[in-house]
Amino acid sequence: MRLLWQLLAVAAAAFLGGQALFAVQDNPWLSLALGLLAAVASVFVYRWVVRRTERREVTELAWTGATAATGWGALLGVGLFALVIINIIFLGGYQVHGLGSPMSALGLVGFMGAVAVSEELLWRGVLFRVIEEHTGTWVSLGLTGLAFGLVHMANPHATLWGAVAIAIEAGGMLTAAYVATRSLWLPIGLHFGWNIAGSALFGTEVSGSGTPPGLLDATMSGHVLITGGGFGPEGSMYSVVFCVIATVVFMRIARRRGRIVPLRRRAALPTATTTLPR
């Protein structure tokens, strides 16, 4: 029952934020403001519903260290995506034709902020965390990663390979970042940095969703396994390779810190143990 309540609360916040952003998509300043507002509101909704349904401190969204973790995650996300683009450039698959739309890029900051926060709260904060309690870390990572990839099949320019790539990249790397830290701030920053680099900075397609113009006016050409085709660079083998490396690093850190929950063993998570008075 608590899973249902948490899913409904976070999904409702994300839906309302998405509807508001859709209504002002042609106004970059409003998109920026409403996107950031939706992200902040989603955090408070998550904290409220978890406290009410689980009667504990919401340690996975603790305020202490939130700014640093989110910032480092964003830098890592931008850096990883930049590595993908650099390698595609070497093969002639990415061409810049000039300046794109700075105002559109500004609006994308708000939009991608709302996307990163709402998706991490829903997928890592609720689904992965609750399923992990019953199945263990590895099974939950596999199930939620696969589901995360499949939902991207609904995007306008989605492909089966793109969905598989997303399942490996985001479903693996973002979940591993959460497991290593038992905090949602790092995967939120990582998700945001990756998306903002692909859309607002490099002007590429993001997950085949029909992304608006970014800071650079750029086009991509070449084999789909190199460029990702209409799905965007997330469908590139470079993205898969770099994100798998990051996933392995995060999971090794998680193992060293003793934060991997064994298979089919319901156990209290390392940091989520503070009980609130009824």
CA dist 7 and 123 (Å) reads: 9
pLDDT digit string (tens) for the chain, length 278 residues: 666 667 677 766 665 666 556 656 678 888 889 889 989 999 999 999 898 888 899 999 999 999 999 999 999 999 999 999 999 999 999 999 999 889 989 989 998 999 999 999 999 999 999 899 889 999 999 999 999 999 888 888 888 888 899 999 989 999 999 999 999 999 999 999 999 999 999 999 988 787 788 899 999 999 999 999 889 999 999 999 999 999 999 999 999 999 999 986 444 455 543 344 44
pLDDT of amino acid 247: 97
Q: What's the confidence (pLDDT) of residue 276?
A: 42
Phi and psi at 203, nearest 5°, equal 65, 40
**Backbone Cα Rg of the chain:** 18
pLDDT of residue 46: 92
At 179 the pLDDT is 97
Measure the CA–CA gap between 103 and 26, rounded to whole angstroms.
Answer: 10
The number of C-alpha atoms within 13 Å of 272 and in the hemisphere containing its C-beta is: 23
**pTM reported for the whole predicted model:** 0.89
So what's the pLDDT on residue 81? 97
What is the pLDDT, as a whole number, of residue 153? 86
Q: Which two tokens stand for residue 190?
A: 């990582």
Write down the pLDDT at residue 274. Answer: 38
Q: Over 187-250, what HEC string results?
A: HHHHHHHHHHHHHHHCCCCCCCCCCCCCCEEEEECCCHHHHCHHHCHHHCHHHHHHHHHHHHHH
